[in-house]
Structure 1
Amino acid sequence: MTVFYCARCSRALTPDLTALPAMPETPDDPIRPKGQDVAPSTVPLGHYATESEEDAVSLRRHGHDKALRHSGGRRHALVVIHPEDAPALEYLPGFANAVGCCGPDGTHGPNQACPCGTPLATLTADCMGPYELRLDPLRVFAFDN
């Protein structure tokens, strides 16, 4: 079990999460449950996945290359979690970087911050893509229980 913390203030951002063996595949056209604008989460509640370079390349082919240019080139793997596993995170002031149709599309960089104000995650919750929260590996650290 792993808990993720803000690197600036050391606040716990998630409950204990279980690692998935691999990043789940994102369907080309995620099916939305009737009455919902977002697709089911890429990662199940209570779990996390680490995005590899191969995952970033795969997701770029689905039209999200602007959002993933950052993750594909990093030396530190991005952690992807269910958005509801980080309930204390807040939108940046003025909803900065939260551009999209029905929600943030994740293509403009971090749009979620720790309550201390540190931008450290990118929420993707638009009607045209996956539903997930990507933690910035340089602004978040993990502790295994």
Structure 2
Amino acid sequence: MDVLLCAACGHRLTAPVRRLDEIPGPGGRDGLPGPGEARRPPALLPRGRYAVDPLPHGAPFVPAPKDREYDGVVPGGPWRSDARGLLVSAGPRGTYVLHPLDVVALDPHPDVTRHIGCCGPDGERGVNRLCRCGAEVAIAADDCTTAYATRLVPGAVRAVPA
């Protein structure tokens, strides 16, 4: 079991969690809203577990390589399309992916544009959660259009035995 701490101040950011070798796919939630909740997809990970995602995640987005055809699967997580064509994530690699309820004591980012989404932040506009010391530490996705997860940013956090 590990806990993840803020690299800047040492504050505990998670409950004790056990590392998995890979992201197993949806688990934990059935996607049905509880009292006062927005509808969202199932969580990427069950409670009490975390995984390290080797693929890039979130902002910034860059044009997709021209030599690759879009086959419906976009390596590197979230993608968008705009006037530049298909965009793929060039965000941080190695994010610590957790069930949002295993993350504790994070504050919303003061830049409100990082909280955009349909019914919650979609996590595609960069770090949107801060440690109490003010360090940018996490990307929370709590929207009906994205995977339900909180990703702690490598370099901003460190894992230690619980």
- Per-residue deviation at 1:68? 3.8
1:59 to 1:18, Cα distance in 2 relative to 1, 3 A: farther
Find the counterpart in structure 1 of residue 41 from structure 2.
39
Q: What's the CA shift for 1:20? A: 1.5
1:23 matched residue in structure 2: 23
Structure ranking higher in strand proportion:
2
Hey, what does 1:87 align to over in structure 2?
104
Q: Which runs of 5+ in 1 are unaligned?
A: none
What secondary structure does 2:115 align onto? coil
Structure number with larger C-alpha Rg: 2
Identity %: 33
For 1:7, the equivalent position in structure 2 comes to 7
TM-score (norm 2): 0.73
2:143 maps to 1:126: yes
**Contact 2:115/2:128 (8 A) holds in 1:** yes
Using the size of structure 1 for normalisation, the TM-score is 0.81
Structure 2, unmatched stretches of 5+, are 59-71, 81-87
- Within the candidate set 52, 55, 67, 2:54 is matched to 52
Is 1:107 aligned to 2:116, yes or no? no
CA contact (8 A) 1:60 1:68 kept: no
- Calculate the aligned-residue CA RMSD, in Å: 3.0
Offset of 1:31 from its aligned partner?
A: 6.5
The residue that corresponds to 1:65 in the other structure is: 79
Aligned length: 138
The structure that is helix-richer by fraction is 1
